[in-house]
Amino acid sequence: MAVDLASITGMSAPTELLIGGQWSAGRAGSLPVIDPATEDPITEVAAATAADAIDAVDAAHRALPGWAATAPRTRGECLRRAYELMIADTEALARLMVLENGKALRDARAEVTYAAEFFRWYAEEAVRIDGTVTTAPSGANRILVQYQPVGVSVLVTPWNFPAAMATRKIGPALAAGCTVVLKPAKETPLSALAVAAILAEAGVPDGVVNVLPTAAPGPVVGAMLADPRVRKLSFTGSTEVGRQLLHTAADTVTKCSMELGGNAPFLVFADADVDSAVDGAMIAKMRNGGEACTAANRFFVHEAVADEFTAKFAARLAALHVGPGLDDGTDLGPLVNADTRTKVATLVEAATRDGGRVVTGGQAPDRRGYFYTPTVIDHVPPTAGILGVEIFGPVAPIVRFTGTDEAIAMANHTEYGLVSYLYTADLRRALAVAEALEAGMVGINRGVVSDPAAPFGGVKQSGLGREGGHQGLLEFTEAKYIAVDW
Ligand code: NAD
Using pLDDT thresholds of 50, 70 and 90, give the confidence band for residue 1. low
Percent of the chain exceeding pLDDT 90 equals 98
Closest atom of ligand 1 relative to the 467 alpha carbon: 40
Closest atom of ligand 1 relative to the 161 alpha carbon: 43
Return the best residue to mutate from 101, 118, 160, 475 for the ligand 1 pocket (most ligand atoms within 8 A of CB).
Answer: 160
Residue 65 CA to ligand 1 center (angstroms) comes to 30
Closest atom of ligand 1 relative to the 418 alpha carbon: 41
Query: For ligand 1, is residue 378 a contact (CB within 6 Å)?
Result: no
Taking CA atoms only, the protein residue closest to ligand 1 atom 39 is 259
Residue 185 CA to ligand 1 center (angstroms) comes to 8
| Residue 434: other Cβ atoms inside 10 A | 15
Query: For ligand 1, is residue 158 a contact (CB within 6 Å)?
Result: yes
Nearest-CA neighbor of 414 among 437, 432, 430, 392? 437
Closest atom of ligand 1 relative to the 293 alpha carbon: 34
Q: HEC string of 351-419?
A: HHHCCCEEEECCCCCCCCCCCCCCEEEECCCCCCHHHHCCCCCCEEEEEEECCHHHHHHHHHCCCCCCE
Report the C-alpha gap between 179 and 157 in whole angstroms.
Answer: 16
Query: For ligand 1, is residue 355 a contact (CB within 6 Å)?
Result: no
Report the C-alpha gap between 157 and 144 in whole angstroms.
Answer: 35
Mean pLDDT of 30-55: 98
Q: Report the relative pairing of strands 463-464 and 255-259 from DSSP bridges.
A: antiparallel
Give me the pLDDT at residue 473, please. 98
Query: For ligand 1, is residue 244 a contact (CB within 6 Å)?
Result: yes
Query: For ligand 1, is residue 326 a contact (CB within 6 Å)?
Result: no
Residue 240 CA to ligand 1 center (angstroms) comes to 9
Taking CA atoms only, the protein residue closest to ligand 1 atom 30 is 237
Q: Is the pLDDT of residue 9 over 80?
A: yes
Residue 239 CA to ligand 1 center (angstroms) comes to 8
Query: For ligand 1, is residue 472 a contact (CB within 6 Å)?
Result: no
Query: For ligand 1, is residue 171 a contact (CB within 6 Å)?
Result: no
Return the best residue to mutate from 167, 235, 241 for the ligand 1 pocket (most ligand atoms within 8 A of CB).
Answer: 241
Reduce the DSSP state of residue 114 to 3 states and report it: helix
Report the C-alpha gap between 105 and 95 in whole angstroms.
Answer: 7
Phi then psi for residue 319, to 5 deg, are: -85, -5
Residues with catalytic function: 259, 293
Residue 466 CA to ligand 1 center (angstroms) comes to 16
Residue 235 CA to ligand 1 center (angstroms) comes to 8
Give me the pLDDT at residue 3, please. 86
Residue 152 CA to ligand 1 center (angstroms) comes to 21
Q: Which fold has domain 5-260+462-484?
A: Aldehyde Dehydrogenase; Chain A, domain 1 (3.40.605)
Query: For ligand 1, is residue 159 a contact (CB within 6 Å)?
Result: yes
Percent of the chain exceeding pLDDT 70 equals 100
DSSP state of 138: T
Range with the poorest average pLDDT among 3-12, 226-235, 277-286, 421-430? 3-12
Closest atom of ligand 1 relative to the 262 alpha carbon: 34
Give me the pLDDT at residue 2, please. 77
Give me the pLDDT at residue 44, please. 97
Mean pLDDT of 162-184: 98
Mean pLDDT of 210-222: 98
Closest atom of ligand 1 relative to the 259 alpha carbon: 41
Q: Which fold has domain 264-451?
A: Aldehyde Dehydrogenase; Chain A, domain 2 (3.40.309)
Taking CA atoms only, the protein residue closest to ligand 1 atom 9 is 185
Query: For ligand 1, is residue 404 a contact (CB within 6 Å)?
Result: no
Residue 36 CA to ligand 1 center (angstroms) comes to 18
Give me the pLDDT at residue 96, please. 98
pLDDT in tens, 138-155: 999 999 999 999 999 999
Query: For ligand 1, is residue 218 a contact (CB within 6 Å)?
Result: yes
Per-domain residue ranges of the chain? 5-260+462-484, 264-451
pLDDT in tens, 72-114: 999 999 999 999 999 999 999 999 999 999 999 999 999 999 9
Give the mean pLDDT of the chain.
Answer: 98
pLDDT in tens, 113-129: 999 999 999 999 999 99
Q: What's the number of CA atoms in the CB half-sphere (13 Å) around residue 331?
A: 15
Give me the pLDDT at residue 296, please. 98
102 and 191 in contact (C-beta within 8 Å)?
A: no
Give Cα 93 to chain centroid, integer Å: 17
